[in-house]
Structure 1
Amino acid sequence: MTVNDDSFTNWKIREEIAESMIPLIGKLHRERDVTVLLHSRSLVNKSVVSILKTHRFARQIAGAELSVTETMPFLEALTTLDLGPSQIDLGMLVTTYMADERGLSVAEFTAEAVAGATGANKIERREPRDVVLYGFGRIGRLVARLLIEKAGSGNGLMLRAIVVRGGGAEDIVKRASLLRRDSIHGQFQGTITVDEANSTIVANGNAIKVIYADDPSAVDYTEYGIRDAILIDNTGKWRDREGLSKHLRPGIEKVVLTAPGKGDVPNIVHGVNHDTVKPDEQILSCASCTTNAIVPPLKAMDDEYGVLRGHVETVHSFTNDQNLLDNYHKSERRGRSAPLNMVITETGAASAVAKALPDLKAPISGSSIRVPVPDVSIAILNLQLARETTREEVHDYLREVSLTSPLKRQIDFTTAPDAVSSDFIGSRHASIVDAGALKVDGDNAILYLWYDNEFGYSCQVVRVVQHVSGVEYPTYPTTAV
């Protein structure tokens, strides 16, 4: 048998195993509200090839490719346990099992590693929490996709309505079409139908009421059967407490803003300061996409090395706020054609760091350049550290942070030598450390951080909403078993 025959036979074997994983992953998700992950990447509703690619990607961050032959026994062990709602990372299970020297069987080790999600320890499944989207633009539609995707178990968050201004004839049909197809993020994964008579979009069985209103005060959400909902404001029209309080109408309990909040509105970066949200807080902000990209790695670097000062330069994709062609704009440069120019502009991300990381005393400055790409940006974080280090040490530290730390859902890591911006479209992390571009010289470190400023940020928004709604489930195994 030739090497080619061996490779193909091996592929077919792994393909068969991955195919047999799909119903096990799906059943855990639907019946027990368990999300199966592989190094923080969900395997729910993934194809055979996608599961195999996710296993192969592990070689970039862990140094060696994971095989489905290694993870399948752990998945099978999970199906025998009395699991409650949780997230379980097969990559972490395999890694910690290999490091364990007690000689336990896979079944014994798995039962111990996820004990916090089983039996008397497990969380009880909750009734779905209503969610309303106010605005249905770039972020609104991506958040909608995520909420619909996560509603598969019938628990957690349930998108009940979107609120928009009336757009004339066939308005709801056009909005459904924008949800169905996206030039950057591709086709919606599922089916979408429109019930014009009842002003409803049905996506993967989720009935989403389309409410037309020009002002928040015009809506009584209880008229639509909505109770104790979390409203996500995607418009950015109101950013202070007084303006956002207009959303606190009958049926709405909390308001989450997808833009930097002003005044005393808490700016929350999930993974860094989401635990500081008070239970009775009704209004909060998810800060900006750039703030979410830089704060987690900034915290990681400060925790390990100390940060004395820093500067962030963002090379940012253009947005709807800019003009396609030269035209009037209230900002000096944003009126110039976005797809034809690099445009120097301001960023509030540096000043927003203080709200998310109040213990960080280092001054952080920032500036931004908008460039002619439609999605994915890069933040160049230049830091003066409190102690000298080496490139190898920082490289290994950040890789470990992406694998095992509490920030592993926020920080990803790539060693791909030919990585470019479009490779990170659809990334669910707040930022991705580009290992090849990392520079360290004594007490100076320069981090290059890719981030999908649309989809990655939307994932952070949903994580915040899950947290404040009480449906953010714990992840197992923990770093120590």
Structure 2
Amino acid sequence: MTDTWLQTLSQVESLIPLLGKLGREQSLKVQLAGQTLMSDSVTGLMELFDRYPGVDLERVKQVLTDAQEKGLGNGVLELEEALADAQISEGLLTATGDETPVVLYGFGRIGRLLARRICALGHTTPGMKLAAIVVRRASDKDLEKRASLLKYDSVHGTYDGVVKADVENEQLIVNGNPIKVIYASDPAEVDYVAEGIEGALLVDNTGRWRDHDGLSVHLSRPGIERVVLTAPGKQMKNIVFGVNDSDIEAEDQILSAASCTTNAITPILSVLEEKYGIESGHVETVHAYTNDQNLIDNVHKGDRRGRAAAMNMVMTETGAAKAVSKAIPSLEGKLSGSAIRVPVINVSIAVLSLNLKAGTSVEEINALLKASSESAALTGQIGYSDAADAVSSDFIGSEQAGVLDSLSTKVRGNQATLYVWYDNEYGYSCQVVRLMEKLTQSVSIGGQVVEERAA
């Protein structure tokens, strides 16, 4: 190792306890170019600062020390602004207000990954706290099984945290945080106030209800103030964080976080639409199989989805292309889409075949999207890969909504074909958490929502 590397390593190691205390004791989230500084990984911080070599780590340490000594907290601190200021003050913080309890209705693939993200060691989610999970009781050992499924995951590995099942009190304890497990088969059965939960944000992960009327049942229950759907929704705003989250208003009590594919492609399409304009296009997503398919040939309401998922490529439909226009209205009617489910358990790729309004080149498009991936505005939404040997499993655990495979970009005049990898489970879950953070960090003034940027 070089002396420079060892010096940087030493500086980064000195930041870990500061970040830990700021997050744990002061609910202060620290960000650089829109990316959260996690206190649980020296390697993660080294990789982050390696992308921004101009950052003075000694100055970073001083900023964090000042924030700790001044007791700043319950908010988000942007390092770029803090490093530019001579003194650290409350004015640099994105205030979060009171802590909002979060309820996860459903605890399947997305529900468990949301819980992992919200409760991750080293990750601060100021403004909200996971308070409860609502599920149907599956067995006498249900609570222990829920804890095990959260801790051990065949795709995402063993959770780096402490998970315990408190059977007597019917709760999970994740990294010291008690999370009430409420057993119910219908939303109308639950009284959240009786469980000590008021003013909560509920995230429906079941996909059982996708329209406004169906999801309104949650709002009718005591203790729930807002609902987020983790699927495309009808009669509600479909929000792709980083693209149209500024459309959220105070009166929006029910919102959709759209789909994993819509989140993967919309940020990139928004950049291209702004730069070149898009005449038309087709989106083909090659998607990992999911739990709504059969593992062995059997009856299914979707004929092809009834065929064995782990040994077939299965043609199916996707509404992701049409859903893009809900976030980018100028693309209404311009995109078609279809999907092929393939025998991989996670990570998908979207192929964007676009007719642009202006001619361009591979180099120009790649440079544009690389710059976007490094911007504070879209760093969480657009990733950039130039790895010559990249394959799908490399993107398991990716926190970006979508990652451009730059070596596969094709351009002929105004016709462009782009390939976008996405972890359809974890990357999407990170987008949902970003939306949740924004909702819990918004302040209502005179019927309007004053938005504050989240990660």
Q: Please, what TM-score do these two structures have when normalized by structure 2?
A: 0.91
Between 1:372-381 and 1:38-47, the stretch displaced more is 38-47
Counterparts of residues 30-179 of structure 1 (less than 5 Å): 30-56=24-50, 58=51, 66=53, 70-80=56-66, 83=72, 85-88=74-77, 110-111=84-85, 118-120=89-91, 122-124=93-95, 126-149=97-120, 155-179=126-150
Between 1:446-455 and 1:277-286, the stretch displaced more is 277-286
Determine which of 6, 9, 19 is the counterpart of 1:15: 9
Which residue is equivalent to 2:448?
none
Question: Is structure 2 residue 226 aligned with structure 1 residue 254?
Answer: yes
- Matched residue type, 1:251: G
Counterparts of residues 395-474 of structure 1 (less than 5 Å): 395-404=366-375, 406-470=377-441, 473-474=452-453
- Matched residue type, 2:62: E
- Contact 2:100–2:440, Cα closer than 8 Å, also in 1: yes
Which residue is equivalent to 1:24?
18
- Contact 2:19–2:64, Cα closer than 8 Å, also in 1: no
Alignment CA distance shift 1:73-1:475 (3 Å): farther
- Contact 1:88–1:475, Cα closer than 8 Å, also in 2: no
Alignment CA distance shift 1:124-1:371 (3 Å): closer
How many Å apart are 1:470 and its aligned residue?
A: 2.2
How many Å apart are 1:89 and its aligned residue?
A: 5.8
**Partner SS, residue 256 of structure 1:** strand
- Matched residue type, 1:376: V
**Partner SS, residue 304 of structure 2:** coil
How many Å apart are 1:467 and its aligned residue?
A: 1.6
**Partner SS, residue 159 of structure 1:** strand
- Contact 1:308–1:362, Cα closer than 8 Å, also in 2: no
Superposition RMSD on alpha carbons, in Å?
2.4
How many Å apart are 1:35 and its aligned residue?
A: 2.6
**Partner SS, residue 179 of structure 2:** strand
- Matched residue type, 2:264: A
For residues 299 and 155 of structure 1, what CA distance do their matches in structure 2 show?
Answer: 29
- Contact 1:33–1:125, Cα closer than 8 Å, also in 2: no
Alignment CA distance shift 1:268-1:124 (3 Å): closer
Determine which of 281, 291, 302 is the counterpart of 1:310: 281
For residues 356 and 326 of structure 1, what CA distance do their matches in structure 2 show?
Answer: 37
For residues 122 and 49 of structure 1, what CA distance do their matches in structure 2 show?
Answer: 26
How many Å apart are 1:145 and its aligned residue?
A: 1.1
For residues 378 and 341 of structure 2, what CA distance do their matches in structure 1 show?
Answer: 28
- Contact 2:262–2:323, Cα closer than 8 Å, also in 1: yes
Any gaps of 5 or more consecutive residues in structure 1? 1-6, 59-64, 94-106, 477-481
Alignment CA distance shift 1:125-1:449 (3 Å): closer
Alignment CA distance shift 1:150-1:292 (3 Å): farther
Question: Is structure 2 residue 181 aligned with structure 1 residue 207?
Answer: no
Between 1:385-394 and 1:145-154, the stretch displaced more is 145-154
For residues 235 and 153 of structure 1, what CA distance do their matches in structure 2 show?
Answer: 26
For residues 120 and 293 of structure 1, what CA distance do their matches in structure 2 show?
Answer: 34
- Identity among equivalent pairs (%): 49
**Partner SS, residue 146 of structure 2:** helix
- Contact 1:151–1:158, Cα closer than 8 Å, also in 2: no
Counterparts of residues 292-303 of structure 1 (less than 5 Å): 292-303=263-274
- Contact 2:212–2:254, Cα closer than 8 Å, also in 1: yes
How many Å apart are 1:123 and its aligned residue?
A: 4.5
Determine which of 245, 264, 269 is the counterpart of 2:216: 245
Would you say how many aligned residue pairs link Structure 1 and Structure 2? 443
Deviations 1:263-305 (A, max 9, x none): x121111111111122111111111100111111111100001
Alignment CA distance shift 1:119-1:250 (3 Å): closer
Counterparts of residues 470-481 of structure 1 (less than 5 Å): 470=441, 473-474=452-453
Counterparts of residues 347-366 of structure 1 (less than 5 Å): 347-361=318-332, 363-366=334-337
**Partner SS, residue 374 of structure 2:** helix
How many Å apart are 1:120 and its aligned residue?
A: 4.4
Alignment CA distance shift 1:67-1:304 (3 Å): closer
- Contact 1:127–1:155, Cα closer than 8 Å, also in 2: no
Alignment CA distance shift 1:418-1:67 (3 Å): farther
Larger helix share, 1 or 2 = 1
For residues 299 and 48 of structure 1, what CA distance do their matches in structure 2 show?
Answer: 34
How many Å apart are 1:88 and its aligned residue?
A: 4.9
For residues 271 and 264 of structure 2, what CA distance do their matches in structure 1 show?
Answer: 12
Any gaps of 5 or more consecutive residues in structure 2? 443-450
Between 1:310-319 and 1:387-396, the stretch displaced more is 387-396
- Contact 1:84–1:125, Cα closer than 8 Å, also in 2: no
Counterparts of residues 364-403 of structure 1 (less than 5 Å): 364-403=335-374
Which residue is equivalent to 1:3?
none
Which residue is equivalent to 1:100?
none
Which residue is equivalent to 1:335?
306
- Contact 1:316–1:376, Cα closer than 8 Å, also in 2: yes
Between 1:275-284 and 1:176-185, the stretch displaced more is 275-284
**Partner SS, residue 80 of structure 1:** helix
Alignment CA distance shift 1:474-1:274 (3 Å): closer
**Partner SS, residue 168 of structure 2:** helix
How many Å apart are 1:16 and its aligned residue?
A: 2.3
For residues 393 and 177 of structure 1, what CA distance do their matches in structure 2 show?
Answer: 48
- Matched residue type, 2:129: M
- Matched residue type, 2:364: E
